[in-house]
Structure 1
Amino acid sequence: MADIQLGAHTIRSHGITVARFHMHDWIILVLLGIIDIILNVIEPFHRFVGRDMMTDLRYPLKSNTIPFWAVPMIGIALPVFIIFGIYFKKQNVYDLHNAILGLLFSVLITGVLTDAIKDAAGRPRPDFFWRCFPDGKDFYDNITTSVICHGDKNVIKEGHKSFPSGHSSWSFAGLGFLAWYLAGKIKAFDHKGHMAKLCLVLLPILCASLIAISRVDDYWHHWQDVFAGGFLGLFVASVCYLQFFPPPYDPDGWGPHAYFQLLAESRNEPTLISTNNLSIDPTAIDSMYIQPEGRNYLVSRDSTLLIDEMEAGVGMRMR
């Protein structure tokens, strides 16, 4: 399918139609957002932390190299900006709508899975000691040797949300989707061997990897948390992308499924051809019986031959 067909489906001409078609998907997105908020409010499982376990949980309590507010800016706002930039060039609202919808599903599904696992696992962060005992004076239960924390409740609550890493999963969900999207748009896998295209596709993955590594450097996560979060985000991003777009190596990998379905339906619509006072469907096939030598044969003739004969018959009657 050629790019020359783009430009006829803009936000003004088809935006409302596309949005209505995916109305239920947008409702599900809102529900996912509400669920994620609830998962962040509820108290996570407080996994047992004993005296002997504190040896591996005494890393210093540091601030975030990548603050929380920066993650949606990098993982959502940046891809949306690029998607809109491509829309202004191609003028294809189907591509714009499905790309943004797929991106948001990728991030929100990842967010719900990440926060649900965080609350259920309750793994302590590497800096849990200083969250539990901010003054450095540790207290333990004499029988179970379990910690008796006297730090800030919200800080302790966050201390039980180490696995998996939310920074990592969100970054790989948003930037991983962007990598898939760019691969399709620039036709990175067109078998022409342009490594510059591949480098451009891997750039969002590199950015997500650096964000994930910062979580280990800040002692907010163990390496297993970062690995699991990155894998989860990239997996969900891949599934969501392929739900809306063909694989990047596909000849039609530059556009969404919905756009090609629209073109196929428009080509299959019957067009009536007017011949004098007759209207004939060109897709129709007429069948008639002829009887040479006393035998019946079923002969199918296409509409072009039928039109010619009908015109000849009309001309004979007019003479």
Structure 2
Amino acid sequence: MPEIQLGCHTVRSHGIKVARIHMHDWLILFLLVVIEIILNVIGPFHRFVGEEMMTDLKYPLQDNTVPFWAVPIIAILLPFAVILIYYFIRRDVYDLHHALLGLLYSVLITGVITDAIKDAVGRPRPDFFWRCFPDGKGVFDTVTRDVICTGDKAVIKEGYKSFPSGHTSWCFAGLGFLAWYLSGKVRAFDRRGHVAKLCIVFLPLLSAALVGVSRVDDYWHHWQDVFAGALLGTILASFCYLQFFPPPYDVDGWGPHAYFEMLAESRNGLPSSTSTNHLRVQHSELESVYIDSHRGMETSSGNVRDPRPILDGVEGNWRH
């Protein structure tokens, strides 16, 4: 059986075909963008904020350490730059397309859920007092003692959007997806004990965590807002990555599912369900080690073949 190699499935040769197969996914993605815009236009629920509640909402109003315009750069453009670099190295349009689609879905689904919760909950930010009363003079309803804000309407509107943190959820969605992506590409879980690879994987997560910390330091969010945003972004990044790629600890964790399905379809009509362990790939493509759970033997995977002949040969050597 001839070897099947990477590098021959580029944007020019297979890009239109791949995009056409996933046309409905791109249409839904566009719908998510529209929903996200609508959620940012409509006003949030104005939760009751009594006079006695203002004690914990008088933190100073200050600028963002990480401005709003920087969030898409951190969450989308930075991971995409890494994905694009990998494409120029390997020329695999399947990896490029599915990584980009997974990244955008991860961020946009997270954004829609985050902003929907923000609008529904209407939790006041830690600096709400100064948003509501920029002159420092509180005005409250004579009966309910609810706030009667005198500040700028746009500033007050943002003041009711504390939970969860959008900066944090977006960054954990995008950089969390990047962490998954890098762990597969560097084969972080190949059972060879190269712990240094984990530093590459954890770097995006550390960056996302620092963005979350800045939201508390700037008094734009309570710590619970940041924690919830980080959890939400991480979970959705994981779901979206595993929709397109095998787990990083899998022997085929370096490539997308669609790539192996394409190889299966090109092999004399073999069903895709039986193809994964029968594909031959260059030694440079698979440098991992997998263990046969029943015999406890380690086999170097220079090429991915049917493991039975290899194991039979090893057993024969042991008998002699």
Task: Tell me which amino acid in the other structure corresponds to 1:116.
Answer: A
Cα separation, 2, equivalents of 1:148 and 1:257? 56
Residue type at the aligned position of 2:164: P
Q: Distance in 1 between matches of 2:3 and 2:201?
A: 21
- Which TM-score applies when normalising by structure 1? 0.83
Distance 1:268 1:227 in 2: 51
Aligned to 2:143: 143
> Who is 2:246 aligned against?
246
Matched, 1:31 2:58: no
Q: Mean Cα displacement is larger for which, 99-108 or 140-149?
A: 140-149
Residue aligning to 2:314: none
- 1:159 is aligned with what amino acid? G
Aligned to 1:292: none
Residues of 2 paired with 1:71 and 1:112: CA distance? 15
SS at match of 2:227: helix
Taking the aligned partners of 1:42 and 1:243, their CA distance within structure 2 comes to 32
Is structure 2 residue 129 aligned with structure 1 residue 161?
no
- Tell me the CA shift for residue 268 of structure 1: 3.3
Instruction: Report the counterpart of residue 116 of structure 1 in structure 2.
Output: 116
Q: Residue 189 of structure 1 aligns to which amino acid in structure 2?
A: F
**1:237 to 1:171, Cα distance in 2 relative to 1, 3 A:** same
State the Cα distance separating 1:206 from its structure 2 match. 0.1
Q: TM-score, normalised by structure 2?
A: 0.83
Distance 1:268 1:3, change over 3 A: closer
Taking the aligned partners of 1:101 and 1:107, their CA distance within structure 2 comes to 10
Unaligned runs of 5+ in 1: 271-319
Q: Determine the C-alpha separation between the residues in 2 that align with 1:63 and 1:212.
A: 15
| C-alpha spacing 1:186/1:3, structure 2 compared with 1 (3 Å) | farther
Q: Partners of 2:211 and 2:244 in 1: how far apart?
A: 27
Structure 1 residue ranges (4+ consecutive) displaced by more than 4 angstroms after TM superposition: none
1:234 corresponds to which residue?
234
Distance 1:198 1:13 in 2: 35
SS of the residue corresponding to residue 156 of structure 1 reads helix
Report the Cα offset of residue 139 of structure 1.
0.8
Q: Does 1:19 align with 2:19?
A: yes
Stretch moving more, 146-155 or 4-13: 4-13
CA distance in 1, matches of 2:212, 2:193: 30
User: 2:61 maps to what in 1?
Assistant: 61
Partner of 1:288: none
Amino-acid identity (%)? 73
TM-aligned CA deviation for residue 195 of structure 1:
1.3
Q: How does 1:114-263 map to 2 (within 5 A)?
A: 114-263=114-263
Amino acid in structure 2 at the alignment position of 1:100: L
Aligned partners of 1:90, 1:196: CA distance in 2, in Å? 23
1:82 alignment partner in structure 2:
82
User: Which of structures 1 and 2 has the bigger CA Rg?
Assistant: 1
Length, aligned pairs only: 269
Shift of 1:4: 6.3
Amino acid at match of 1:162: S
Look up the equivalent residue of 2:105 and give its one-letter code: F
Paired with 1:67 and 1:192, the residues of 2 have a C-alpha distance of 41
- Within 5 Å, give how 1:258-269 maps onto structure 2: 258-269=258-269
RMSD, matched Cα: 1.2
Q: Which runs of 5+ in 2 are unaligned?
A: 271-320
Once the 2 structures are TM-superposed, how far is the Cα of residue 3 of structure 1 from its aligned partner?
9.8
1:218 partner letter = D
Aligned ranges 1:289-308 → 2 under 5 Å = none
Q: Measure the CA separation in 1 of the matches of 2:197 and 2:182.
A: 9
Bigger CA drift: 122-131 or 139-148?
A: 139-148
Seen in structure 2, the aligned counterparts of structure 1 residues 247 and 151 have a Cα distance that, compared at 3 Å, is same
